[in-house]
């Protein structure tokens, strides 16, 4: 076997891929070949998490973390780092506080408070090579469970660990497995819910792209525990890279005898098939997901019967999401006692979040339960972009709520977030600043749920649509105070009467913004103003004649020729023509243009 002096890890996550990380890999390979260097291995890994500074290149064994690498930098890295052993300073991460270079990711603010369990292999191994997973104790948990534990004992261990469903609802995983175990049937199914539909969230996709084997291993363990021989992964057809890597992983696992008949010589049989989701948020709900896998419209049905009793093809089915599964192998390797020491009293372990929005360090993070929102936003996230003022953080996506300054010391766990009137959700965490209008945000989420409503029950199909229309009225400056009251009433009725989780939680973004930002709603209604300056119908761009130098820059950039004036004379915006795109505001160097 070749002994490698260096490993060059290049991020192959969706974000870095979009910034040409594949080109960087090819370039590294070409340069190394050209220079006849054979003891350096180039590996495409899953997501490192620090998407803001992508593409990321990490060099082992010295753990040097290069950010925003371009194809043109590759030769330089090889010449300096690989050949001469000197770090390329200009590509290192600059700490915003000390302004010094940080070379080891362990010392970066972004990583310091993180603890990676579900993401343990993301950004470390080549997801397309099973040997790398095995080298990181992969499939050892499956071996242990199959040879040393009875299914009952394995379920007990899972219950003791305190792991709860990471899809959002937080149902104890061990308990769920226990229910499926108790159901008697000739065939049972293990389903992995990889239908990540929350807009602005990419946790599950990153796990599947960066460490698909951990999910496969966990599904096999679950199969052993509940007595199932068949596993199905319900994955979005829109995730081509995740599908590709998962399929490669399944094929390799079969080849190594880790899937199929007589796994590890124990007589246990288990295999996995992929089923494609075709873009419907409601399919994240277990019953809807099962209908979709059966080739039907993904409409939910009333529970009970629960899937553990009557699920896919009428057989007992256990559904867990990707992140939940990714935690499973580690729990068996390190033990339930190790796992339940991490986190808070009722929420054990860690949680992965897709941290995004108006924040300096956008990325994929994993923190122990109980970490506060303040720590996440200011220490890991590096604070608000452009020195703007923090306004709100949204958790739980279209089913969640907005939390404000006063909630920043809330520890992140299922109970505390619920007490603060939001939810944990699947892990979307969007930060908003003073320029975001909260009425518009509520409308944004409601647009989404209206779009995604399956139409089966009236409260969701009709009720949410009416709410959306009222919000539209308010945003356009035609709302009344009665409308706000009506919104509240409708929201409560929908929460109480909709059939499934999607409908019941759809009013949450509206209610939570009404609670926290009532004044903003009133400003839209009474003053016909959008305090954040986002709602176009309520604002106009104006030029201050005292500050305008008549440089004509804005007039030249205006896409609809709404700005007129002669050179060196103050210009004017024709409000009838203006489409309020804001280009002039961004163009003006003299601060003469403002939003009113």
Partner 1 sequence: MAKATIKINRQYLKEIKEVCESFNYEKGQLINVLKKTQEKIGYLPAEVQMVIAEELKVPVAKVYGVVSFYSFFTMVPKGKYPISICLGTACYVRGAEGILQEVERQLGINPGETTPDGLFSLDCLRCIGACGLAPVIMIGEKVYPRVTPNKVKEILDEYRK
As measured in angstroms, the least distance from the Cβ of 17 to partner 1 is 8
Angle among Cα 425, 408, 487 to the nearest 5 degrees reads 60
Provide φ and ψ at 352, rounded to 5°. Answer: -90, 135
Contact positions with partner 1 (CB under 8 A) in 176-215 = 197-202, 205-206
Closest by Cα among 450, 368, 445 to 411: 368
96 scored as a contact of partner 1 (CB under 8 A): no
Q: Between residue 298 and residue 317, which ones bind partner 1 under the rule CB under 8 A? A: 298, 313
For residue 202, the minimal CB distance to partner 1 (Å) is 4
Which residues neighbour 109 within 8 Å (Cβ) at sequence distance 6 or greater? 95, 97, 361, 379, 380, 382
- Find the binder of partner 1 among 19, 478, 552, 594 (CB under 8 A): 19
Q: What is the phi-psi region of residue 482: left when phi exceeds 0, alpha when psi lies from -120 to 50, beta otherwise? A: alpha
User: Cα 57–58–62 angle (5° rounding)?
Assistant: 150
The DSSP string of 146-163 is HHH--HHHHHHHHHHHT-
Residue of 64, 173, 327, 436 that binds partner 1 (CB under 8 A) = 436
Name residues contacting partner 1, limited to 520-549 (CB under 8 A). none
**Minimum CB–partner distance for residue 297 and partner 1 (Å):** 4
Closest separation in Å from C-beta 98 to partner 1: 23
Q: Which stretch binds partner 1 (CB under 8 A): 98-106, 152-160, 401-409, 441-449?
A: 441-449
- Smallest gap from residue 323 Cβ to partner 1 (A): 15
Q: How far apart are CA 536 and CA 448, in angstroms?
A: 20
Report the b/e string of 92-124 with b at 16+ CB within 10 A: bbeeeeeeeebbebeebbbbeebbbbbbbbbbb
Chosen residue from 8, 10, 15, 506 binding partner 1 by CB under 8 A? 15
Nearest distance from C-beta of residue 562 to partner 1, angstroms? 13
Binding mask 385-404 for partner 1 (x = CB under 8 A): ---------x--x-------
Is 179 or 276 the residue whose CB approaches partner 1 more closely? 276
Stretch that binds partner 1, among 99-107, 253-261, 437-445, 473-481 (CB under 8 A): 437-445
Binding to partner 1 in span 28-67, by CB under 8 A? 51-54
- From 110-118, 248-256, 293-301, 371-379, span contacting partner 1 (CB under 8 A): 293-301
Using the minimum distance from each CB to partner 1, give the nearer residue, 50 or 339.
50
CA dihedral for 433, 439, 445, 451, sign (positive or negative): negative
Q: What are phi and psi of 541, to 5 degrees?
A: -95, 130
Closer residue to partner 1 (CB): 134 or 185: 185
**Binding string, residues 471-490; x marks residues near partner 1 by CB under 8 A:** --------------------
**68 in contact with partner 1 (CB under 8 A):** no
* 151 vs 210, beta carbon nearer partner 1: 210
Looking at 237, 419, 561, 567, which residue binds partner 1 (CB under 8 A)? 237
Alpha-carbon gap, residue 301 to 287, rounded angstroms:
6
Residue 504 sits at the vertex; the CA angle it makes with 503 and 507, to the nearest 5 degrees, is: 85
Q: Does 559 bind partner 1 (CB under 8 A)?
A: yes
Size of the site for partner 1 (CB under 8 A): 59
Of 38, 63, 150, 296, the one binding partner 1 (CB under 8 A) is: 296
> Alpha-carbon distance 465 to 401, whole Å?
19
Q: What angle do CA 367, 154, 415 make, to 5 degrees?
A: 35
Task: Name the minimum Å distance from CB 451 to partner 1.
Answer: 8
Residues numbered 269 to 288 that lie near partner 1 (CB under 8 A) are 275-281
Region 336-375 residues binding partner 1, contact defined as CB under 8 A: 354, 356-358, 362-363
| 432 scored as a contact of partner 1 (CB under 8 A) | yes
Query: Which segments of 404-453 does DSSP mark as H helices, in order?
Result: 414-419, 438-452
Nearer to partner 1, 157 or 211 (CB): 211
Tell me the window of 85-93, 109-117, 429-437, 466-474 that interacts with partner 1 (CB under 8 A).
429-437
CA dist list (Å): 413 to 200, 352, 368, 422: 20, 12, 9, 11
Contact region with partner 1 (CB under 8 A), list: 30-38, 225-233, 263-271, 291-299: 291-299
Among the listed residues 39, 89, 238, 345, the single contact to partner 1 using CB under 8 A: 238
Residue with tokens 């969701």: 460
Q: How far is the CB of 42 from partner 1 (least distance, A)?
A: 23
By CB under 8 A, name the one of 335, 565, 570, 582 that touches partner 1. 582
Cβ-contact 306, 179 below 8 angstroms:
yes
Q: For residues 66 and 59, what is the distance between their CA atoms, to the nearest angstrom?
A: 8
CB 15 within 8 A of CB 51: yes
Is 14 near partner 1 (CB under 8 A)? Answer: yes
The residue range among 138-146, 220-228, 292-300, 319-327 that interacts with partner 1, by the rule CB under 8 A, is: 292-300
Classify each residue of 240-260 as buried b or exposed e, where b means 16 or more C-beta atoms within 10 Å of its C-beta. Answer: ebbbebbebbbebbeeeebbe
Q: How many CA atoms lie within 13 A of 407 on its CB side?
A: 20
- Phi, psi values for residue 298, rounded to 5°: -80, 70
Give the nearer residue to partner 1 in terms of CB position, either 294 or 469: 294
Closest approach, Cβ 149 to partner 1, in A, equals 34
Find residue 318's DSSP bridge partners.
190
Name which position in 343, 368, 428, 479 contacts partner 1 (CB under 8 A): 428
Q: Closest CB to partner 1 among 151 and 277?
A: 277
Helix/strand/coil for 122: coil
Nearest to 281 by CA among 351, 201, 176, 192: 201
Contact between residue 570 and residue 550 where contact means Cβ atoms under 8 Å apart: yes
Q: What six digits make up the tokens of 550?
A: 């008549």
By the criterion CB under 8 A, which residues form the site for partner 1? 13-15, 18-19, 51-54, 197-202, 205-206, 237-238, 275-281, 292-298, 313, 354, 356-358, 362-363, 394, 397, 428, 430-432, 436, 441, 444-445, 448, 454, 557, 559, 579, 581-583, 586
């Amino acid at each position: 076997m070749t002994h490698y002096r260096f490993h060059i890890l290049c991020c192959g996550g969706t974000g870095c891929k979009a910034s040409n990380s594949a080109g960087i890999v090819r370039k590294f390979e070409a340069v190394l070949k050209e220079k006849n260097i054979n003891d350096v291995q180039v590996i495409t890994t899953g997501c490192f998490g620090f998407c803001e500074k992508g593409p990321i290149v990490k060099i082992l064994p010295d753990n040097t973390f290069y950010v925003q690498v371009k194809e043109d930098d590759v030769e330089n890295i090889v010449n300096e780092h690989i050949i001469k052993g000197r770090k390329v300073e200009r590509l290192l991460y600059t700490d915003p506080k000390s302004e010094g270079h940080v070379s080891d990711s362990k010392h970066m603010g972004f990583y310091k408070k993180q603890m990676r369990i579900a993401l343990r292999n993301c950004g470390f191994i080549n997801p397309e090579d099973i040997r790398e997973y095995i080298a990181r104790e992969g499939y050892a948990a499956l071996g242990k469970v199959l040879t040393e534990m009875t299914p009952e004992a394995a379920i007990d261990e899972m219950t003791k660990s305190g792991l709860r469903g990471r899809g959002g609802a937080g149902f104890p995983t061990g308990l769920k497995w226990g229910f499926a175990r108790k159901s008697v049937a000739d065939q049972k199914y293990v389903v992995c819910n990889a239908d990540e539909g929350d807009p602005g969230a990419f946790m599950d996709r990153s796990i599947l792209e960066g460490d698909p084997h951990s999910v496969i291993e966990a599904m096999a363990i679950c199969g052993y525990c509940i007595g199932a021989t068949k596993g199905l992964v319900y994955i979005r057809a829109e995730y081509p890279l995740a599908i590709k890597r998962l399929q490669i992983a399944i094929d390799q696992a079969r080849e190594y005898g880790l899937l199929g008949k007589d796994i590890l010589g124990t007589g246990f049989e288990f295999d996995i098939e992929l089923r494609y989701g075709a873009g419907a948020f409601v399919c994240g709900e277990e019953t809807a997901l099962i209908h979709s896998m059966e080739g039907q419209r993904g409409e939910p049905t009333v529970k009970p019967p629960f899937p553990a009793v009557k699920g896919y093809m009428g057989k007992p089915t256990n559904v867990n999401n990707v992140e939940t599964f990714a935690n499973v192998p580690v729990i068996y390797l390190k033990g339930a006692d190790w796992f339940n020491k991490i986190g808070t009293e009722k929420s054990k372990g860690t949680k992965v979040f897709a941290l995004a929005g108006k924040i300096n360090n956008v990325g994929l993070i994993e923190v122990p339960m109980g970490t506060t929102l303040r720590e996440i936003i200011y220490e890991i996230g590096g604070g608000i972009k452009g020195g703007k003022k923090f306004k709100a953080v949204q958790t739980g996506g279209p089913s969640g709520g907005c939390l404000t300054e006063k909630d920043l010391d809330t520890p992140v766990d299922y109970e505390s977030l619920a007490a603060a009137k939001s939810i944990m959700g699947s892990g979307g965490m969007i930060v908003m600043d003073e320029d975001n209008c909260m009425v518009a945000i509520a409308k944004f989420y409601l647009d989404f749920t209206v779009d995604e409503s399956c139409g089966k029950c009236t409260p969701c199909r009709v009720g949410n649509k009416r709410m959306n229309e009222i919000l539209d009225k308010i945003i356009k400056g035609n709302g009344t105070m009665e409308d706000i009251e009506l919104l509240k009433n409708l929201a409560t009725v929908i929460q109480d009467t909709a059939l499934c989780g999607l409908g019941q939680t759809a009013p949450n973004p509206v209610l939570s913004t009404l609670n926290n930002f009532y004044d903003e709603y009133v400003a839209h209604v009474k003053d016909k103003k959008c305090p954040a300056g986002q709602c176009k119908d309520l604002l106009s761009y104006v030029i201050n004649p005292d500050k305008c130098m008549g440089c004509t820059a804005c007039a030249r950039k205006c896409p609809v020729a709404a700005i007129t004036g002669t050179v060196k004379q103050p210009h004017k915006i024709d409000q009838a023509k203006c489409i309020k795109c804001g280009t002039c505001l961004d163009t003006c160097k003299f601060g003469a243009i403002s939003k009113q």
